[in-house]
Amino acid sequence: MIKNLFITAGEGKHRVQLQATITGEGVIIALFGGEKPHIGAVVLSIPRPSLADPARISCTSTVVPRLGHKDEEIAKPLAEELAKACAQPVVAVAGLHIERAQAEDINLLVKNSWQAMQQLLKSLDLD
């Protein structure tokens, strides 16, 4: 069975939208926002035992950034967080953009992205 979830966080140009598709063997997330949603990076995170402490879960991640974009800086940590939490592979596609973004704009997009992820984790009820 496939389940789709839609989550938003933030307002105006700092609003982000997260769509999650949960399958029996993995999760696909699409994170878009800002003034110009787009495809800026793709990440595949696969959970595995930590090399330093096999009792902990870590991830091996493959990142494919679009030339000139930095969307992997948010896509990778989100994908890894979700992969560890659900113990399944995660594919994340991200594209957030604000023209002439200042540090505060970027911080708000990142904050809202993490807020959306926390809402997703809560709705998955993984405990």
Give how far the C-alpha of residue 86 lies from the chain's centroid of Cα atoms, to the nearest Å: 13
Phi, psi values for residue 70, rounded to 5°: -125, 20
Closest CA to 7 of 127, 114, 104: 114
pLDDT digits (tens, 9 = 90+) for 79-109: 999 999 999 999 999 999 999 999 999 999 9
If one looks up domain 3-99 in CATH, what number appears?
3.30.230.100
Record the pTM. Answer: 0.93
Say if CB 109 and CB 96 are below 8 A apart: yes
List the Cα angle 99/30/64 in 5-degree steps. 80
Boundaries of every domain in the chain: 3-99
pLDDT digits (tens, 9 = 90+) for 36-87: 999 999 999 999 999 999 999 999 999 999 999 999 999 999 999 999 999 9
**Torsion 34-39-40-44 (CA) sign:** positive
